[in-house]
Amino acid sequence: MLIPGINDNQIALLDIQRKNRGWKGFITPNPNCTTIGLAITLKPILDNFGINVVIMTSMQAVSGAGRNPGVISLDITDNVIPYIAGEEEKVQKETQKILGAFNGESIIPAEFMVSSTCTRINVLEGHTEAVLVSTKDHCEPDDVSMIMREFDPFKGLDLPTAPRNMIIVNNDPFRPQPRLDRNNDNGMATTVGRIRKDYAVKNGIKYVLVSHNTKMGAARGATLAAEILIKKGYIG
């Protein structure tokens, strides 16, 4: 699973995949669309301060569910669906894998624990996530805001689909909102707001993010992955 700019060091797994399976080609799937926004925002925190625990609650758009025919699709009207089958397990496992270490042969999952609650809400596009992080090293909200703003994994790569800003930090306490922020940088940026301290856990930092589930989380994210694989010489 590849999120360009986040776990590029794991691309070498494709060589192992081709060798083990006797393939000339390869398969590199997109992660779960809910995992993508979470992993993107955790990456600079992990690199700068370390992470003990992540607790996340998602409020996911209906477009992420595909097409539900007939009356079933009316269930979302005036409602919140508190369960998405298999979603929480995917987010927990994928986040640890994407942010894990590559030892040259396989991925060692990140040591921090991930707890997630995934819900479906009456929004067309754009996943919102409320995130609580316990960091290993002490940090202040301004520190987190700064490293997120400065996070620039695509510098010098000239990838056509890459966002100008991988993470956009908005200081308005009423942002991010899916309707206002899902299309930032053509739907490829993850927008973060409400970065603040939390005192229920050690070195607690919490924030809200919005990412576009059908752009960065799907088709355009796959295009970006192809672009970085071209740069790395895996696609001619």
Return the active site residues. Answer: 33, 127
The pair phi, psi for residue 138, each rounded to 5°, is -60, 140
Q: What angle do CA 82, 86, 91 make, to 5 degrees?
A: 90
End-to-end Cα distance, the chain: 20
Beta strands across the sheet bearing 51-60? 113-120, 51-60, 127-135, 204-211, 190-198, 167-170
* Residue found under tokens 């009456």: 122
- Cβ contacts of 122 within 8 Å, gap of 6 or more: 62, 76, 77, 78, 79, 80
Burial class (CB in 10 A: 0-12, 13-18, 19+), 105: exposed
Please list the residues that pair with 192 across neighbouring strands. 169, 209
